[in-house]
Amino acid sequence: MESKVAYQNELNLKATELRLGLPGTDIESEEQALSSARNNKRPLPDNTKECGLKGSSDDAQHSDHEAAPPAKAQIVGWPPIRSYRKNNLQPKKTEAEASGIYVKVSMDGAPYLRKIDLRVYEGYPELLKALENMFKFTIGEYSEREGYKGSEFAPTYEDKDGDWMLVGDVPWDMFMSSCKRLRIMKGSEARGLGCGV
Amino acid sequence: MMNYFPDEVLEHVFDFVTSHRDRNAVSLVCKLWYRVERYSRQRVFIGNCYAISPERLIARFPGVKSLTLKGKPHFADFNLVPQDWGGYVQPWIEALARSRIGLEELRLKRMVVSDESLDVLSRSFTNFKSLVLVSCEGFTTDGLAAIAANCRFLRELDLQENEIEEKKNHWLGCFPDSCTSLVSLNFACLKEINLAALERLVARNPNLKSLKLNRAVPLEALQRILMRAPQLVDLGTGSFVLDRDSDDSETYRKLRTTILKCRSIRNLSGFLEVAPHCLPAIYPICVNLTYLNLSYAAGIHGSELIKLIRLCGKLQRLWILDCIGDKGLEIVASTCKDLQELRVFPSDPFGAGHDAVTETGLVAISSGCPKLNSLLYFCQQMTNAALIAVAKNCPNFIRFRLCILDPTKPDPVTMQPLDEGFGAIVQSSKRLRRLSLSGLLTDRVFLYIGMYAEQLEMLSIAFAGESDKGMLYVLNGCKKLRKLEIRDSPFGDMALLRDVGKYETMRSLWMSSCDVTLGGCKTLAKKMPRLNVEIINENDQMEFAPEDSQKVEKMYLYRTLVGPRKDAPEFVWTLV
């Protein structure tokens, strides 16, 4: 099964490819197993069209800035679970997985802000790499003692209490749930944060 | 010999005949028995509300006290039937209200119920005692207020998984102070509730045996309610959450003490919101549980589930989420030796499902729980070998529903279709009445089903088969088939039309995204006037007169004694 992890690490065109066959199946294994079985079946594109297959060309244009669509497209009425049950499955979990956590990212000196979906990243390394790519800068080495050493930038975030915190101190999950917005600080302000005084 | 007995004696004998089928059979023996049976019949079950009319019901069974009605086809549960398709209870309630029927119980499934219907219901039957609504829609809490206010002897109000619009009317407060006859109350599907009214209601109804709360009932309130109702047998908790750090530790302690007093609880469900650290409060009652439903509790992880289940040695029915994992199912298998029914639901229906269950869990269950007779299992994958083992370990299946999340997935080990596996199940479980298939399947599985599934009454097919032969095997072989529902399978007119008389022996047939054409359906409708052959058209394409050769997206046909229904919406065509 294609997982969300695999999707985000590279531009996984396979997941967004529009093709015959049910979503989530590989062409290779399909051919192997289904060569005789499928001769009389209706062409599947009818089904997929009706079902609003999400692997459309729109998604292929999304780069790693935006949230990834779910790796599996959905067939109408499958799996066969009552809507009541689907809607009531402890909503916290399903809402979060479906909608993503979008936060604004500002960079000191940049003319406009960006937005990223924190759910897309596995952890701090991926997040920081994405920020580096997005704003074309380098973040230094993180250490608990000295913050981000080796560059004039420091990634910070505003938490639920309104305080500006250095990115990387708390566990990733905790960070995801408390981060309201990101700001990449530059220059002396940044150094002040990392200072071990 | 029986003809020399007065009617009262016959009636007395018939009192012992309770199942619908047996009573139906009794009524066919001779005219005398038909007459005695119909006057003494109290409970009537109508599996398809369009098969008969309320007038004919009333004419034949003037003494009916309990009526069960079902409306929409089963696949409506999965959004395959458009809104406004039908299934209105209004004409039934109106007809019954006009008659002199002393209705006491009404049980509806997949029907559209209006506030007006509920109001009429509440006012028309002085002895009305029991209202059970399952997967219904169309009403608001105003309708519930009418029931509460007017049904003086109400014993049961059971709302299961309905879509109810909630008004700010505190309907629960409409139960008068004189209402003390409640035995069963279930409002789990509502989002709000008037807590004060609820607690007062529980306090004055000492016969309450079954209580299912909703999300809006916090733990503190649950504790107070349980204090008032330690006699409960059936409990559905609401919100089962307390903050770790707050002063709620006092509440938690009180809850634990109160629960210890609830020695009668045998069925436990709810946990619509749950914090795992609160679970130990229910440990003391686990040992007595025969039914446990944690299928909405996505917040409980495998390890906590396992701790809980280890205490439930007497469990007969278990509904859980697949986050229990194969390992968790192994624990179930070693703990719950009396298990008869297992339902494993997907916690993440569209995701990759790392915690999900596979064939391993199912095999473990089958070897630990030989009494298993009812299964609903959503899983990532299944193998023929596993199904064959399950068939061998558990020959007593009455219901077997397997749902592989990827619907055409073959056996991942052999890459073969799952024909042999399902074949083993139908061959070994001679009393199988209901079967749902999934995974990669050829016509062969249907050959097996036709050959072995002699008691099969309901069959659900999706993305399966290769040709018309598949469907024909089933129609020819399964003599007791009542409901057949098929989607996305290559069955066409040849299979549909081979044995048209078969459909009068069945309740209904649903076919969607198959190969049947408009012409085929028309032919069938023409040949069988006592079938309603309905085509559901949702597309704009159908504006133009469609060709007979065009494939039909959705067809639903059912036997009926009352001809085409008059309430069909414009997107439903009844062919004649």
Which pLDDT does position B465 carry in this prediction? 97
Q: Is A160 on the interface with B (CB under 8 A)?
A: no
| Probe site for chain A from B513, B540, B554 (most A CB atoms < 10 A) | B513
Q: Do A76 and B135 make contact, defined as CB atoms within 8 angstroms?
A: no
Question: What's the average model confidence in pLDDT over B186-201?
Answer: 95
For residue A173, is it within any domain? Answer: yes
Which pLDDT does position A136 carry in this prediction? 86
**Sign of the C-alpha dihedral computed for residues B176, B178, B180 and B184 taken in this order:** negative
A186 band by pLDDT with thresholds 50, 70 and 90 = confident
CB B340 within 8 A of CB B317: yes
Q: Do B347 and A22 make contact, defined as CB atoms within 8 angstroms?
A: no
Indicate if the pLDDT at residue B121 is higher than 70: yes
CB B44 within 8 A of CB B64: yes
| Count of domains for chain A | 1
The contacts of residue A80 (CB under 8 Å, 6+ apart) are B77, B78, B403, B436, B460, B462
For residue A148, is it within any domain? Answer: yes
Q: What is the pLDDT of residues B362-371, one digit of tens each?
A: 999 999 999 9
Q: Is A112 on the interface with B (CB under 8 A)?
A: no
Q: What is the pLDDT of residues B37-62, one digit of tens each?
A: 999 999 999 999 999 999 999 999 99
Which pLDDT does position B542 carry in this prediction? 54
For residue A92, is it within any domain? Answer: no
Q: Is A54 on the interface with B (CB under 8 A)?
A: no
B487: nearest CA partner in chain A: A77
Q: What is the pLDDT of residues B12-36, one digit of tens each?
A: 999 999 999 999 999 999 999 999 9
CATH superfamily of B381-491: Ribonuclease Inhibitor (3.80.10.10)
How far from B27 is each of B17, B32, B36, B530, CA to CA, in Å?
Answer: 11, 8, 8, 22
| Probe site for chain B from A26, A38, A72, A78 (most B CB atoms < 10 A) | A78
Indicate if the pLDDT at residue B507 is higher than 90: yes
| Probe site for chain B from A72, A90, A92, A97 (most B CB atoms < 10 A) | A90
For chain B, give the mean pLDDT. Answer: 94
Catalogue the E-assigned strands of B474-547: 483-487, 508-512, 531-536
Q: What CATH number is given for B1-41 in this structure?
A: 1.20.1280.50
Chain B residues closer than 8 Å to A25 by CB: 406, 408-409
DSSP code, position B506:
S
Dist. CA B553–CA B540, nearest whole Å: 13
Across the interface, of A33, A81, A83, the residue whose CB is closest to B346 is A81
Indicate if the pLDDT at residue A30 is higher than 70: no
How many angstroms away from the CA of B313 is the closest CA of chain A? 27
The contacts of residue B133 (CB under 8 Å, 6+ apart) are B108, B111, B113, B158, B159, B160, B162
Q: Do A85 and B295 make contact, defined as CB atoms within 8 angstroms?
A: yes
Question: What's the average model confidence in pLDDT over A36-64?
Answer: 39
Q: Do A33 and B417 make contact, defined as CB atoms within 8 angstroms?
A: yes
Domains B46-59+66-239 and B381-491 alike in fold? yes
- Of B260 and A33, more confident: B260
CB B517 within 8 A of CB B551: yes
Chain B residues closer than 8 Å to A49 by CB: none
Among B151-155, B355-359, B469-473, which is the least confidently predicted range?
A: B355-359
B563 band by pLDDT with thresholds 50, 70 and 90 = very high
Q: Are strands A114-117 and B43-46 parallel, antiparallel or unpaired?
A: unpaired
How many angstroms away from the CA of A176 is the closest CA of chain B? 18
CATH number, position A137: 3.10.20.90
Q: Do A79 and B346 make contact, defined as CB atoms within 8 angstroms?
A: yes
Domain locations along chain B? 1-41, 46-59+66-239, 265-353, 381-491, 507-575
Indicate if the pLDDT at residue B351 is higher than 80: no
How far from B28 is each of B16, B24, B38, B561, CA to CA, in Å?
Answer: 17, 7, 11, 17
B541 band by pLDDT with thresholds 50, 70 and 90 = low
A44: nearest CA partner in chain B: B488
- Taking the C-alpha atoms of B210, B212, B213 and B219 in order, what is their torsion angle to the nearest 10 degrees? 70
- Of B348 and B446, more confident: B446
Q: Which domain holds residue A155?
A: 102-191
Q: How remote is the C-alpha of B12 from its chain's centroid?
A: 32
Chain A residues closer than 8 Å to B273 by CB: 90
Q: Do A2 and B352 make contact, defined as CB atoms within 8 angstroms?
A: yes
Among A44-58, A73-87, B560-574, which is the least confidently predicted range?
A: A44-58
- Of B545 and A43, more confident: B545
Residue type (1 letter), B212? K
Dist. CA B452–CA B471, nearest whole Å: 15
Q: Do A97 and B462 make contact, defined as CB atoms within 8 angstroms?
A: no
Question: What's the average model confidence in pLDDT over B313-341?
Answer: 96
Which pLDDT does position B3 carry in this prediction? 61
Indicate if the pLDDT at residue A194 is higher than 60: no
Q: Is A43 on the interface with B (CB under 8 A)?
A: no
Which residue, chain included where needed, has tokens 């305080």? A163
Which pLDDT does position A74 carry in this prediction? 73
CB A7 within 8 A of CB A68: yes
Question: What's the average model confidence in pLDDT over B329-349?
Answer: 95
For residue A25, is it within any domain? Answer: no
Which pLDDT does position A86 carry in this prediction? 86
| Probe site for chain A from B164, B319, B406 (most A CB atoms < 10 A) | B406
For residue A38, is it within any domain? Answer: no
Omega cis (within 30) before B73: no
Question: What's the average model confidence in pLDDT over B376-396?
Answer: 97
- Of A110 and A4, more confident: A110
Which pLDDT does position A138 carry in this prediction? 87
Chain A residues closer than 8 Å to B162 by CB: 84
Interface list for A 86-105 with B (CB within 8 A): 86, 88-90, 92-93, 97
Chain A residues closer than 8 Å to B78 by CB: 76-78, 80-83
Among A48-57, B295-304, B404-413, which is the least confidently predicted range?
A: A48-57
| Topology annotation, domain B46-59+66-239 | 3.80.10
Q: Do B350 and A25 make contact, defined as CB atoms within 8 angstroms?
A: no
For chain A, give the mean pLDDT. Answer: 67
For residue A121, is it within any domain? Answer: yes
Chain B residues closer than 8 Å to A39 by CB: 466
Chain A residues closer than 8 Å to B467 by CB: 40
A68 band by pLDDT with thresholds 50, 70 and 90 = very low
Phi, psi of B146 (to 5 degrees): -65, -45
B554 membership: H or E segment, kind and range: strand B554-559
Q: Do A97 and B403 make contact, defined as CB atoms within 8 angstroms?
A: no
The percent of residues above 90 in pLDDT, for chain B, comes to 87
Which pLDDT does position B442 carry in this prediction? 98
CB atoms within 10 A of CB B141: 23
Question: What's the average model confidence in pLDDT over B332-337?
Answer: 97
For residue A145, is it within any domain? Answer: yes
Phi, psi of B235 (to 5 degrees): -125, 130
How many angstroms away from the CA of A150 is the closest CA of chain B? 39
B49-87: burial string, b at 16+ Cβ within 10 Å, e else: bbbebbeebbebbeebbbbbbbbbbbbbbbebbeeebbb
B162: nearest CA partner in chain A: A84
Phi, psi of B575 (to 5 degrees): -80, 145
In 3-state terms, what secondary structure has residue B163? strand
Which pLDDT does position A37 carry in this prediction? 40
Chain A residues closer than 8 Å to B299 by CB: 90, 92-93
